[in-house]
């Protein structure tokens, strides 16, 4: 009897605007011969494989585990990871017997999901190889190329999170041995590069492809990202040069490989003219025809209540909808790194920073990414009518006098009166994520207003190229490509001129700003092995208070500030009482690792100098589980879920620092 193959996921998962991509109606059950011998049905089968990784617009956004933002409802999706309490059991989803939320997923624990998709990819490739197909030759070549790319993409996503993983190239039968060893990291990279080479031969050029589907340039972009990560310190560490499962063998030539890979996709823009930086920074999420997009996921409005991956895209990032239900609040640590318009950070001498107006005169990208108090925003009603711009303002306390707020001169008393404390409490972080927001698009619980999510865009490729150039001592190229991004017409930030370690600081910060809230920060901090610093910065929230001062109204910002010993413990909101100083990581108070007070004075190095930032005025107990990156560094890699270790009968080796 012929096998019956269940086709899953509607084609809407990767809708591609007005193109015919994914326009076909999927059927419930079809014989494998029917599917793999029809251009249209085989394409529908491949369409489902594109959803191997859900887009990052979900509630449990990866950025909420880093110093970019936080999700106050993320107890089983982000907070347990951000708190450093991740282990092989709690990364499993509830449906698997673990604790992680089934739909508020961070797209970090992708082990089980990804191998399910790899099975389907292997099944297609085996059928085409062993039985042939009556598909047209052009469709067979293109779809086979897509599967090779998607399998490479799948294994890339796995090694980025776990290090070396089992490389499986054939679909398992019921009587097969499922206990497969993890491959060495370098072998996994070589396997992925092999799949990309096959895909590049079979896929069409960009000009002959269809929007939303992969093409030869998509291969170049993934090769660029893959080789960069493989060359980075986490996986190519001169202090730990031996190779194995958890990292590759150290070789400086890996940076040359990454440089060459980056140059090929960069040349597609600079030499061939296939891409260019968008004139506007927000074009990358507002314009489906942005010249910067290399590969993107395109959305259509949907009212399917069962579609967990497209219905909530813009919903959870807006500044006004559904009683403040947002999934991403920017942190004070994030706003620190958006430079002033003159190119200096606000804590540097000569920056022009005014603490009475702390969010003025910033890098224009700040206003594209973050909505600060007194920002203006617009929206539409359900009929599409544009509303007037409205003022975004947090906590206007009409009636509170300045005396209610002023600091007590008695150092034994709290810095704020009880009334001020009470009225400034709450769950709001004081800043909103503005990136991805489309003010003119109506959204509801069942309808998304988002247009696209860029998987690969030119600015990332420029930054990858700049980093490889820096590591190879080609500082002129590094500066050139950082400055290309800074000179975007609506950004126009001062040119970077530094060299040496100061140039590295600029490069790190440019990725921080340009790629803000695009999931890069989590992986960047890990591949650089810098998470132990940045992810131990306190999860600080801001407040703005408008207070009466006689007939005047004064605005007071409680945000991160430059440390000043003369002001120490004189105007802290919460950290100037003995009780608050010993505030523990209360969610896990029984675990000795967390029995420590929160550090709220942090020293940063920037352009050869040290700056001490004081978070004491901020709200630091916004979440019940403060941020913590473990001292043993185990969170640099994800733990393999317990159920996968069990299924392998213990053959899978767990990542360092986690219990077996």
Judge whether 432 and 326 are in contact, CB under 8 Å: yes
Hey, which of 408-417, 473-482, 583-592 has the most confident mean pLDDT? 473-482
Has residue 591 got a pLDDT over 50? no
Mean pLDDT over 271-285 rounds to 97
Q: Which range has the worst mean pLDDT, 74-88, 289-303, 312-326, 344-358?
A: 312-326
Chain mean pLDDT for the chain: 81
Give residue 436's pLDDT. Answer: 86
Give residue 601's pLDDT. Answer: 86
Give residue 228's pLDDT. Answer: 98
Q: How confident is the model at residue 261 (pLDDT cuts 50, 70, 90)?
A: very high
Q: Which range has the worst mean pLDDT, 9-13, 208-212, 490-494?
A: 9-13
Q: How confident is the model at residue 174 (pLDDT cuts 50, 70, 90)?
A: low
Give residue 299's pLDDT. Answer: 80
Has residue 580 got a pLDDT over 50? no
Structure tokens at 113: 């999901």
Calculate what percentage of the chain has a pLDDT beyond 90: 54
Partnered with residue 606 across adjacent β-strands are: 609
Give residue 326's pLDDT. Answer: 72
Has residue 398 got a pLDDT over 50? no
Q: Which range has the worst mean pLDDT, 305-309, 448-452, 486-490, 536-540?
A: 305-309
Has residue 381 got a pLDDT over 70? no
d(Cα 297, Cα 198) in Å, to the nearest integer? 23
d(Cα 363, Cα 494) in Å, to the nearest integer? 10
d(Cα 297, Cα 436) in Å, to the nearest integer? 13
Give residue 410's pLDDT. Answer: 33
d(Cα 425, Cα 423) in Å, to the nearest integer? 6
Mean pLDDT over 393-409 rounds to 42
Beta-strand ranges (E) seen in 46-136 are 69-70
Mean pLDDT over 480-507 rounds to 98
**What phi and psi values does residue 130 have, to the nearest 5 degrees?**
-90, -35
More confident site: 596 or 612 = 612
Residue in 83, 106, 86, 102 with CA at minimum distance from that of residue 623 = 83
More confident site: 203 or 176 = 203
Domain ranges of the chain: 395-424+537-627
Has residue 275 got a pLDDT over 70? yes
Has residue 318 got a pLDDT over 60? no
Q: Which range has the worst mean pLDDT, 80-89, 175-184, 424-433, 607-616?
A: 424-433
Tens digits of residue pLDDT in 336-348: 999 999 999 999 9
> β-pairing, 390-392 with 375-377?
antiparallel
d(Cα 35, Cα 46) in Å, to the nearest integer? 10
Give residue 454's pLDDT. Answer: 95
């Amino acid at each position: 009897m012929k096998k019956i193959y269940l086709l899953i996921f509607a084609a809407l998962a990767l809708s591609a605007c007005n193109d015919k991509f994914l326009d076909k109606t999927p059927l419930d059950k079809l014989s494998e011969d029917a599917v793999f011998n029809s251009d249209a049905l085989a394409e529908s089968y491949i369409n489902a494989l594109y959803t191997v990784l859900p887009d990052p617009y979900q509630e449990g956004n990866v950025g909420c585990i880093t110093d970019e933002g936080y999700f106050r409802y993320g107890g089983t999706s982000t907070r347990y990871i951000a708190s450093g309490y991740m282990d092989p059991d709690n990364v499993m989803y509830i449906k698997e017997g673990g604790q992680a939320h089934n739909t508020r997923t961070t797209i970090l624990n992708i082990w089980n999901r990804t191998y399910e998709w790899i099975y389907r990819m292997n099944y297609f490739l085996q059928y085409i190889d062993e039985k042939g197909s009556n598909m047209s030759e052009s469709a067979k070549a293109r779809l086979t190329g897509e599967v090779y790319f998607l399998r490479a993409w799948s294994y890339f996503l796995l090694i980025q999170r776990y290090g070396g993983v089992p490389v499986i190239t054939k679909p398992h039968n019921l009587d097969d041995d499922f206990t497969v060893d993890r491959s060495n990291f370098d072998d996994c990279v070589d396997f992925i590069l092999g799949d990309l080479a096959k895909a590049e031969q079979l896929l069409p050029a960009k000009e002959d492809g269809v929007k939303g589907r992969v093409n030869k340039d998509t291969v170049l972009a993934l090769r660029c990202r893959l080789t960069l990560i493989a060359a980075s310190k986490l996986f190519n560490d001169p202090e730990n040069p031996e190779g194995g499962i958890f990292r590759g063998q150290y070789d400086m030539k890996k940076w040359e490989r990454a440089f060459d890979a980056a140059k090929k996709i960069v040349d597609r823009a600079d030499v061939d003219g296939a891409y260019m930086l968008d004139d506007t920074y927000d074009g990358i999420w507002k314009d489906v025809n942005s010249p910067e997009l290399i590969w993107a996921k395109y959305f259509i409005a949907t009212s399917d209540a069962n579609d967990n991956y497209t219905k909530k895209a813009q919903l959870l990032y807006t500044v006004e909808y559904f009683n403040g239900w947002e999934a991403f609040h920017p942190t004070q640590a994030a706003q620190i790194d958006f430079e002033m318009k003159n190119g200096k950070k606000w804590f540097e001498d000569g920056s022009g920073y005014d603490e009475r107006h702390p969010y003025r005169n910033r890098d224009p990208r700040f206003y594209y990414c973050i909505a600060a108090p007194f920002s203006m925003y617009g929206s539409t009603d359900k009929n599409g009518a544009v509303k007037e711009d409205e003022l975004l303002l947090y906590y206007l306390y009409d009636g509170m006098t300045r005396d209610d707020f002023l600091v007590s001169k008695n150092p034994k008393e709290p810095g704020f009166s009880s009334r001020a404390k009470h009225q400034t409490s709450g769950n709001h972080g004081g800043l909103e994520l503005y990136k991805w927001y489309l003010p003119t698009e109506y959204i509801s619980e069942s309808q998304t207003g988002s247009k696209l999510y860029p998987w690969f865009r030119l600015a990332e490729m420029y930054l990858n190229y700049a980093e490889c150039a820096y590591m190879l001592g080609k500082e002129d190229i590094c500066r050139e490509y950082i400055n290309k991004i800074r000179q975007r017409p609506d950004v126009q930030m001062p040119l970077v001129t530094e060299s040496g370690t100061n140039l590295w600081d600029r490069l790190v910060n440019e990725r921080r700003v340009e790629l803000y809230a695009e999931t890069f920060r989590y992986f960047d901090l890990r591949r650089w092995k810098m998470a132990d610093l940045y992810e131990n910065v306190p999860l600080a929230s801001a407040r703005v208070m408008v207070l009466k001062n006689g007939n005047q109204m004064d605005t007071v910002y409680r945000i991160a500030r430059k440390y000043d010993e003369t002001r120490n413990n004189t105007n802290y909101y919460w950290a100037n009482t003995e009780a608050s100083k010993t505030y523990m990581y209360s969610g896990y108070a029984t675990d000795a690792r967390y029995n420590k007070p929160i550090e709220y004075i942090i020293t940063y190095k920037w352009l050869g100098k040290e700056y001490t930032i004081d978070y004491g005025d901020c709200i630091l107990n916004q979440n019940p589980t403060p941020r913590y990156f473990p001292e043993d560094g185990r969170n640099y890699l994800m733990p393999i879920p317990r159920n996968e270790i069990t299924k392998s009968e213990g053959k899978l080796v767990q990542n360092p620092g986690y219990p077996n």
